[in-house]
Amino acid sequence: MRSQPAVQTQEVLFLDPEDDLGSIRAKLESVSADEIYLVIPRRSSVLRAPLEFRILARLTNDMASETVIVTSDSGRRALARHEGFRTRRSVNSVRGLAPKSGLGGVVPRMPEWIPLPSGSSLILLALMVGLIGVIGLVVLPVMKVSIAPSTASVKKDLDIGVDPTYRAPDVAKGQLPGTLMQRRLEVTGAAPTTSTRQGGRDRARGEIVFTNRSSNQHTVAKGATVVARSGVRFSMDGDVRVPPFSVGVARSGITAVNGGGNGNVDADAITTIEGSFDGLTVSNPRPTTGGTDRDVKAVSAEDIAKLKEQLMQRAQDQFMQEFQAQAGTDRSVPPHTLRLRVENEIYDPPQDSEGEQVTARLMVAATVTSFSNSELNRLAQQMLIAAGPPGYDLPLDQVGLAPPMVTEAADQHMQLRIIGEGLMVRNVDISGVANALRGKSQRDATSYLGSSADLAGATSQVELTPSWAPLAFRVDVALAPLK
């Protein structure tokens, strides 16, 4: 009786993409089959270089079983054959390991040159087919809805106060925050005098005599001043020595310090000599004569007031230019709240003095209140919304405001009146509409939009793309622009 040949055992060992040479050795040693088919996935990071296959060959030489390299990578198969390994393109190409047919036969082997999809490729293909189906049924169909909400017009006279003590707009009280601005500057100018008065032309002259009741001799120098009872002052024309206990011995000519008829004084009108002269007195035995007057220009109170008014107007204009430049284009600086304060003023020559013109230098401080134009627009918008029907909004670009009119200004506060108007739009819950229409057909969506109480008075359009789609899970809702 003939003995039966021993049955050779076979085992398929699949590597993981993360396996290295150490884990491969452990897996090979755990298998006791005669032939081990080592399946290497394409994504595996090991067994790509000749050195790695050389090391694998040394590991398998010590084992009783034969290792066959199974990989769809032709480059790996070439490296494996170079190190003495048998190779296979896929597990299906291994005889005896392929699945049986329903008729009991073996499924015919495909030639190795025909590429066969791997299991992961089949799974990926199935996922792609499913994804395409999802895109075709869910992602691709889009329902675009355009809604033109109902509108209402609003118009109202708005009274808005500007107050620097407020930090934020107050819709209920109609108050807008103001900003206090301050500056200082010096203004100078000149103007011709317009008034005339009598002024001195020629100076009066005369003679004085001295009386010395002391025992000392006095010497009075040229230019010494003697004064009449009226206050007119005269200067001596020369030096005089006055002996002790003398009366009328010493004499001197005198000339009025200032020209004019007031220098013509009566006899014995000059009584005082300036300086320290013990026991010395003076008098004029005859009137002084020769003083004459003429009409001269003089600084009057009216000249000073007119020049000050001109300088204050110039200061006001300069302040407003500087304040507006500082505020920029986003802020308004109404001149109604501009307050000027003169800190110092000098006029030369002073009032009632002779002069062809008067000059002035003023130091002026100024304060003014400004406000933000954008804050004013938003406050007016909110006040118009509060005055309109409930459930409506007023876009800022639909707000129309007439130029503000200042009705009152006190200190740094002001009251504005503005005629405001706009086209209000009924509020629409865009996300709520989108949720309600999601998963509906175009017909059902149109019916919902026409019957919704929240969209009363609104007109809408529904477009489904592509048109063959029965319904849409993607819904884009937008408000139609106002005309």
| Residue-level pLDDT at 433 | 92
Question: For 416, what's the count of Cα atoms within 13 Å in the CB-facing half-sphere?
Answer: 30
Confidence category of residue 118, pLDDT binned at 50, 70, 90: low
Nearest Cα neighbor of 28 from 73, 71, 72, 58 is 58
Mean of pLDDT values over 368-392: 92
| Residue-level pLDDT at 114 | 44
Q: What are the residue boundaries of the structural domains of the chain, listed by start?
A: 10-116, 138-149+428-479, 154-193+299-422, 197-296
pLDDT above 60: residue 99: no
Strands 179-192 and 175-177: unpaired
User: Which residue is associated with the tokens 């309109």?
Assistant: 388
pLDDT digit string (tens) for 4-35?
555 678 888 888 888 888 888 888 888 888 88
pLDDT digit string (tens) for 169-200?
999 999 999 999 999 999 999 999 988 877 77
Question: Which of residues 140 and 286 earns the better pLDDT score?
Answer: 286
Mean of pLDDT values over 373-387: 93
Q: What percent of the chain has pLDDT over 70?
A: 89
* Helix, strand and coil in the chain, % to nearest 5: 25, 40, 35
Question: Which tokens in the block code for residue 91?
Answer: 């597990």
Whether residue 212 contacts residue 246, with contact meaning beta carbons closer than 8 Å, is answered with yes
Mean of pLDDT values over 119-145: 67
pTM of this structure: 0.54
Whether residue 202 contacts residue 290, with contact meaning beta carbons closer than 8 Å, is answered with yes
| Residue-level pLDDT at 411 | 77
- Residue 55 one-letter amino acid: I
Mean of pLDDT values over 452-462: 87
| Residue-level pLDDT at 94 | 59
pLDDT above 50: residue 109: no
Q: Is 253 helix (H, G, I), strand (E, B) or coil?
A: strand
Residues 6+ apart with CB under 8 A from 4: none
Distance between CA atoms of residues 449 and 115, nearest Å: 56
Q: What percent of the chain has pLDDT over 90?
A: 53
Question: Which of residues 299 and 139 earns the better pLDDT score?
Answer: 299
Residues 6+ apart with CB under 8 A from 45: 17, 18
| Residue-level pLDDT at 139 | 56
pLDDT above 70: residue 326: yes
Distance between CA atoms of residues 361 and 340, nearest Å: 15
pLDDT digit string (tens) for 353-366?
888 899 999 999 99
Largest pairwise CA distance in the chain:
194
| Residue-level pLDDT at 473 | 84
| Residue-level pLDDT at 439 | 87
Average pLDDT score over the chain: 86
pLDDT above 70: residue 135: no
- Residue 354 one-letter amino acid: E
CATH architecture classification, 197-296: Beta Barrel (2.40)
